[in-house]
Homo-oligomer: A and B are copies of this chain.
């Protein structure tokens, strides 16, 4: 129907090193049609050995780099996966990311990431922004999102993976562990060892919902034993911080000298608390027991390994990514956790 005046049809000159090399350049240089080049470059469809080699040679000579933007638009199948993480500094996130990334890479996917900084509103904006790149999957942390964020994730026709937590309602695929149960297990462990006057050192609960769930579980068990957390101290920091644990610990002990155990919202804080004890000659676990969460490498290598709970973080990322790409049904996978009794309790 529409025809271009012949004089406007200027096939790109293969020897033209100015603009970017396109598939058309390769085609022209190899003396074949564009579609054939496309077939060869994607290893799709059958092409004679001869032309294939001709094309490969031309592409190499021209230093051709395919334009995936164009490819994605044309095929409307993207090799992009969106990832929204709460933070990069956190020790947990990198491990989950590493597991996921390994799978994604093997499958030829490229992650587009956004960092929400534990802010749901920011997360919402990032999700929208990332969705506009038309990824074929989206990974987010946790189950708590703004209403609009949930709506977008539900309605965008893209597979969604929610990681790290199973306590709540998911959108599509959920891979994580129960933080409430982890909190319960921690309390049960400490109580079984005879500790009764237990304090808590945590960080900002509003931003780290999962730490809040652990505390909730911990409290539940205490109440079931007609006990309560003796005192608590919250570090103002968002997320983990050794310094926060150190200070929180100092403050807590200043107020309560009779505690026999302290439960920390995570290992970073616990290590801070541990250092405080080391420095102040507080004997562990005799004077005071410590319990963390995460199972960080460093916490297992201190002179006295920290009692803590570990989750299979790398596996979480791996499994999640596999499910995201596999096209299976929506489901929840609880990867569980492992309580590691250390020398601090």
A residues at B contact (CB < 8 Å)? 1-5, 8-10, 19-20, 63, 65-70, 72-73, 78, 80, 88-89, 94-95, 97-98, 101, 105, 110-115, 128-134, 151-152, 154-157, 170, 172, 174, 241-243, 246, 271-272, 275, 278-279, 297-298, 301-303, 329-332
Q: Which residue of B lies closest to A298 (CB)?
A: B242
In the docked arrangement, what's the CA distance between A68 and B301, Å? 47
The residue that A134 contacts in the complex, of B1, B67, B174, B243, with Cβ under 8 A, is B67
- A173: min CB distance to chain B, Å: 9
A313: shortest Cβ distance to chain B, in Å? 11
**Are the C-beta atoms of B272 and A301 separated by less than 8 Å?**
yes
**CA distance in complex: A133, B110 (Å):** 9
Q: Please state the number of chain copies in the assembly.
A: 2
Contacts A2-B330, A152-B65; A298 near B298 (Cβ below 8 A): yes
Beta-carbon nearest neighbor of A154 in chain B: B5
- Given known contacts A2-B170, A128-B65, A89 and B98 CB-to-CB distance under 8 angstroms: yes
Q: Which of B19, B115, B246 contacts A301 (CB 8 A)?
A: B246
Closest residue of B by beta carbon distance from A332: B1
Whether B9 contacts A63 by the Cβ 8 Å rule is: no
Residue numbers in B under 8 Å from A111 (CB-CB): 112-114
Are B67's CB and A132's CB within 8 A? yes
Return the contact of A157 from the options B20, B78, B114 (Cβ within 8 A): B20
Task: Please name all residues of chain B whose beta carbon is closer than 8 Å to the beta carbon of A154 when the two chains form the complex.
Answer: 5, 8
| 12 A-B pairs with C-beta separation under 8 A | A1-B331, A4-B330, A8-B154, A8-B156, A9-B157, A88-B88, A88-B101, A89-B95, A105-B115, A110-B129, A243-B297, A278-B278
Bound form: Cα–Cα A329–B3 in Å = 7
Q: Are A10 and B155 in contact (CB under 8 A)?
A: yes
Neighbour of A66 across the interface among B2, B4, B132, CB < 8 A: B132
